[in-house]
Amino acid sequence: AQSVTQLDSHVSVSEGTPVLLRCNYSSSYSPSLFWYVQHPNKGLQLLLKYTSAATLVKGINGFEAEFKKSETSFHLTKPSAHMSDAAEYFCVVRTDTGRRALTFGSGTRLQVQP
């Protein structure tokens, strides 16, 4: 069985400073990993995905994530936060061979201060 742990329920940064949202996963198989973002009253938008290709994955809006198998981590980063980045971020894993169900983390709310 797979699981995802998002280490921070809430992160607050100042505009223009770096963003780090932490995620650890547990999986019996090689995982596919995703980050989704949810803005208020909006759907879940795919930011980026890792599917066993390059370990450093670039996504939309300047976000990227690095898959580290030795640390079972998939942290999301952005060099410089923008006010529009304020949202809920979900780390998601899919591992079981033949299954398509996604397992979500509990989410991290990112607040960006002016």
Q: By CB under 8 A, is residue 43 in contact with other proteins?
A: yes
Q: By CB under 8 A, is residue 36 in contact with other proteins?
A: yes
Range in contact with other proteins (rule: CB under 8 A) among 20-28, 31-39, 62-70, 74-82: 31-39
Nearer to other proteins, 9 or 17 (CB): 9
Q: By CB under 8 A, is residue 15 in contact with other proteins?
A: no
Give the separation between CA 105 and CA 75, rounded to whole angstroms.
12
Contact 4, 90 (CB under 8 A): no
Q: Return the residues of window 58-97 that contact other proteins according to CB under 8 A.
A: 90, 94
Residues 6 or more apart whose CB falls under 8 angstroms from that of 63 comprise 19, 35, 47, 48, 76, 77, 78
Q: Report the residue from 64, 86, 104, 109 that binds other proteins according to the rule CB under 8 A.
A: 104
Give the separation between CA 15 and CA 34, rounded to whole angstroms.
24
Range in contact with other proteins (rule: CB under 8 A) among 21-29, 66-74, 79-87, 103-111: 103-111
Between the alpha carbon of residue 5 and those of residues 36, 79, 95, the distances in Å are 14, 23, 15
Give me the amino acid identity at 7.
L
Residues that bind other proteins (CB under 8 A): 32, 34, 36, 41-46, 49, 51, 90, 94, 99-107
